[in-house]
Structure formats: C-alpha cells, structure tokens
Copies of this chain bind each other. A is one copy, B any other.
Amino acid sequence: MANRDMTGDGPASLWASAGDRAREREMKREAVLTTAVRLFNLKGFVTTSLDDVALALGVTKPTIYHYFPNKDEILYECVRRGLDSIRRTAAEAAKIRGDGAVRLRKMLLSYALVMTRDFGICVGRTNDAELSPENRARYRAAKREIDQMLRGALQAGIDDGSLRPQDARLAVFAVAGALNAIGRWYDPKGAMSAEAVAKGMVDALMRGLDAIRKED
C-alpha cells in the first residue's frame, strides 16, 4: 500500500491482488453480517449463538472473530446500517421542496421500506438493553436524531397548515411504532410487495395526521 510503483512489476497486478484480497475480505465480512442478521431476526439476538451463525455460514466460530471483535459489535453494525438507511433517506426527504406534509410523507415512505428489509427489521426487533453501554448510547442517539427529523417535518406541516395541529411528540411515536412493527408481520413471500405495504401503511398514517390527501 505504501510502496506501490516501486517495483518493475507494475501497479496493476499489485493493486489487483491487494484489491482482490480487500474486496474478498469485505464480502466475507458482509456474509457474516447478513447471515447473523437473518438469524437474529428469526430467533432473537440473545438466543442466537455465534456457533449458530458460524454453522449457517459453514465455518467455525473463531472465523467470525476474524471479522468482528465480539458479538455486540455484530449486532451494533446491523442496527447501525438500518438506522443509517432511515436517517439518510429522511435527511434527503427533508431537503425536497414542498410543504411539511409532503416531506413527512416521503420520510415515512422510505422509513417503511427500510423496515421491510433485514437490517430494518433488526432495528425494529432490537431491544436497546441488549447492546453494550457505548453502543447503546450511539443507538439511542441515532434514534433520537430520526425522531427529531420526523418531528421537525411534522411541526413544519402544522405551521404551514398542511397538517392538523396536534401533539407532535405523541403523533411521531405512534407513527414510528407502527412502522417499527412492520418487520414483525411482513412476509416478503406474501401477496403484498414491500412497496404496497409501505404505501398502504403511510397513506393510513398520513390520514391520521390529517394530511391534505394527494394520491401520487
């Protein structure tokens, strides 16, 4: 990495091989994570052992420790990804032009979609008491941030008249509660697509906030 172009070998082969290794490592790490999150969602974090995860991957437990320092970090990385997706899409939605109702609707739609996928489901099912104190603090901070964004959009909607005046705190808790639970009943192999579920859910929730009805 430090001494590329120093040999006559040419940078391409050096980089290719170094890159291959790094990429392969990243893919394996990814495989650990996706296998872990699926098991966590299926059986719960505490009741899933790393031996279970290793077995599902066809490797042994110490292998997992080559990619993650401990079990807690694996869970944290799972919820971090879910929360980051929500946060990122919500931040984007906050920037689009339109009234508060329009921005909030977009936020909720992205939120709902994330909750139909593995890392999102994990967010919905994870109890913060399962995380280490440090990661719990980060987890809570991320949740708070999302809550603030939703509340901000809702309040903006109330202020600009696109949403009914109401207790923003209560309303956001209700909405988030409904969305977080999606992973507890949604079946990807069922009749409804993730998009249909998300849209149906968000339409109902936005009606509850008295949004001006806009079919898009």
- Which residues of A are interface residues toward B (Cβ below 8 A)? 42-44, 46-47, 125, 127, 129-130, 164, 166-167, 170-171, 173-182, 184-185, 197, 200-201, 204-205, 207-210
Min CB distance A38 to B, Å, is 13
Residues of chain B with a CB closer than 8 A to A175's CB? 178
CB atoms of B208 and A44 under 8 A apart:
no
In the complex the two chains form, what is the Cα distance from A171 to B171 in whole Å? 16
Choice from B129, B130, B164, B204 contacting A174 with Cβ under 8 Å: B204
Interface of A is mostly: helix
A-B CB contact pairs (8 Å), 13 listed: A46-B47, A47-B129, A47-B130, A164-B207, A173-B181, A173-B185, A174-B201, A175-B178, A177-B178, A177-B181, A178-B178, A207-B207, A207-B210
In the complex the two chains form, what is the Cα distance from A130 to B46 in whole Å? 9
CB atoms of A197 and B170 under 8 A apart:
yes
Residues of chain B with a CB closer than 8 A to A129's CB? 42-44, 47
Choice from B176, B184, B205 contacting A208 with Cβ under 8 Å: B205
Choice from B43, B171, B181, B204 contacting A181 with Cβ under 8 Å: B181
In the complex the two chains form, what is the Cα distance from A205 to B42 in whole Å? 29
CB atoms of B204 and A130 under 8 A apart:
no
Min CB distance A188 to B, Å, is 15
Residues of chain B with a CB closer than 8 A to A201's CB? 170, 174
Residues of chain B with a CB closer than 8 A to A179's CB? 177
Q: Which residue of B lies closest to A172 (CB)?
A: B185
Residues of chain B with a CB closer than 8 A to A164's CB? 207
Residues of chain B with a CB closer than 8 A to A127's CB? 44, 125
Q: Which residue of B lies closest to A127 (CB)?
A: B44
- Not counting A44-B46, A173-B181, A173-B182, a sample of 14 additional A-B residue pairs whose C-beta atoms are within 8 angstroms of each other reads A44-B127, A44-B129, A46-B47, A170-B204, A173-B185, A175-B178, A177-B178, A177-B179, A177-B180, A178-B178, A204-B208, A204-B209, A207-B207, A208-B208
